[in-house]
Amino acid sequence: MKTENTNENLINEYARNPKQGFEQIYRAYADRLVQYAVHSFRLSCEEGEDAVHEALLPWVQSPQKVSGVKNLKAYLYASLRNACIRRSGARRDSLMPEDLAAAEGPDLNLQADVAIALKQLPDEQRETVYLKIWGDLTFAEIAELQNTSLPTIASRYRYALAKLKEILQWNP
């Protein structure tokens, strides 16, 4: 993320000018938040976008409610997680490769393989991988978000990567 879009700078801009600050927050995080919703909660891209909009609604409707936020990234992911759970009842439908492709880059075969491999992980491991890789959250932020200890998060991540390596038969 560029220096001018750090969490602190985004929060300060939002405090000065909520409309402009919100637009900057949206540009900085919306795509990654949609990816998280699609990957972790197996929503379609459209459902993921709707969940992101729901999670970001307080930033537009009630700026005073979010005025005390210190860690913007963690707050946004926690809000989105709650919105996804409310929307889907933690539904775990199948992830469509085209949803993954729309949220990510151009290598469709690799994305389909990774999507299939990720579906084989336990829910907690899959969510941890998405938060760490696509969400760019630290283990401490993930532990707080999942209300779990830091060693547990590190173990989930390590086990998930080992399982993905095994499933994808990846040998560097």
pLDDT attached to residue 105: 52
Structure tokens at 171: 């040998």
Structure tokens at 115: 């999507």
The predicted model scores a pTM of 0.67
Q: Which domains are assigned to the chain?
A: 3-168 (1.10.10.10)
8 class by beta-carbon count within 10 Å (0-12 exposed, 13-18 middle, 19+ buried): exposed
pLDDT attached to residue 2: 45
* Closest to 12 measured CA to CA, from 24, 23, 21: 21
Per-residue model confidence as pLDDT tens digits over 73-121 = 888 998 898 888 887 654 444 344 444 445 445 566 777 788 788 889 9
For residues 137 and 73, the answer to whether their CB atoms sit within 8 Å is yes
* Closest to 24 measured CA to CA, from 39, 37, 14, 16: 14
pLDDT attached to residue 4: 54
Rg (Cα) of the chain, in Å, rounded? 16
Which parts of the chain register pLDDT below 70? 1-5, 88-108, 171-172
pLDDT attached to residue 50: 92
Residue 95, number of CB atoms within 10 A of its CB: 21
For residues 45 and 38, the answer to whether their CB atoms sit within 8 Å is yes
